[in-house]
Amino acid sequence: LQSCVQLALLPVYLLAYLGLWDALYKKVFPYIMARLAPGYNRKVHKQKQELFSNLGQFAGPAGQLRLLEIGTGTGTNFQFYPAGCRLTCTDPNPNFGQFLRKSLSENSHVQLERSLVASGENLQEIAAGSVDVVVCTLVLCSVSSVERVLREVLRVLRLGGAFYFLEHVAADQSSWIYFWQKVCDPAWKCFGDGCSLSRETQKELEKAKFSELNLRRIHVPLSFVPASPHIIGYAVK
């Protein structure tokens, strides 16, 4: 079945080989996310509220929270951030700009300090130990290397800072959901900007050198069931 899906995707693979697919899709993808993100956010609103409820505990000595969000996208997490937090946004796709500005105008309690076009694997413009909190939601599923992203997260976090995450992940390998994740993965990666349905992100988090890891599995009631298994939590440096 997976081979049949790959065969159907041959025109996309050809466009990718010619270097045309990425240029086209990166312009279209922000519009897709802007349309889908509000519906997804409604389904995880309670979980996000609970997850981000203790952000203030990681504020610096002056009481101000320096927060870095990796893969900010359309800015759907801004509503959950505490008032006055100093925000740095990063995303490898510059075409999210107009949606980011719209979210900022709707969340005036957030102070944007910098917005960088950068991948999570390469945050060289951000100084080591310079942020209190790093946030990453629905991003680790599509990065080229989760290990490298987590290494960068640990570098930019101050000692005692925290990394917050919410990610869809692989289901139990003996389940039908996992079967369909593997079948759909080739198409999902093409149309989800490199996103994988079957990535075992929790294993990378467990291997990373955090001093504390608070992680739990949840099931998000999505129409597309293979994307329903999630992990949520935070890790402390």
Supply the DSSP string of the chain, one letter for each residue.
-HHHHHHHTHHHHHHHHTT-HHHHHHHHHHHHHHHHHHHHHHHTHHHHHHHHTTGGGG--TTS--EEEEES-TT-TTGGGSPTT-EEEEEES-GGGHHHHHHHHHH-TTSEEEEEEE--TT--TTS-TT-EEEEEEES-TTTSS-HHHHHHHHHHHEEEEEEEEEEEE----TTSHHHHHHHHHHHHHHHHTTT--SS--HHHHHHHS--SEEEEEEEE---SSGGG-EEEEEEEE-
Residue 205, φ and ψ in degrees, nearest 5: -65, -40
pLDDT value of residue 8: 81
In tens digits, what is the pLDDT along the chain, a chain of 237 residues?
A: 888 878 888 888 788 888 878 888 889 999 999 998 999 999 999 999 999 999 999 998 778 899 999 999 999 999 999 998 999 999 999 999 999 999 999 999 999 999 999 999 999 999 999 999 999 999 999 999 999 999 999 999 999 999 999 999 999 999 999 999 999 999 999 888 889 999 999 999 999 999 999 999 999 999 889 999 999 999 999
Q: What is the CATH number of the domain that holds 49?
A: 3.40.50.150
Closest CA to 103 of 123, 74, 126, 128: 74
Residue 199 lies in a domain: yes
Range of the domain at 161: 1-129+144-236
Residue 134 lies in a domain: no
Residue 187, φ and ψ in degrees, nearest 5: -70, -40
Cα angle 146, 229, 191 (rounded to 5 degrees) comes to 65
pLDDT value of residue 237: 96
Residue 83 lies in a domain: yes
Indicate the pTM of the whole model.
0.93
Residue 44 lies in a domain: yes
Q: What are the residues whose beta carbons fall under 8 Å from the beta carbon of 14, sequence distance 6 or more? A: none
Residue 138 lies in a domain: no
Residue 110 lies in a domain: yes
Residue 68 lies in a domain: yes
The structural domain count of the chain equals 1
pLDDT value of residue 195: 93
Residue 135 lies in a domain: no
Q: What are the residues whose beta carbons fall under 8 Å from the beta carbon of 112, sequence distance 6 or more? A: 87, 88, 89, 104
pLDDT value of residue 192: 87
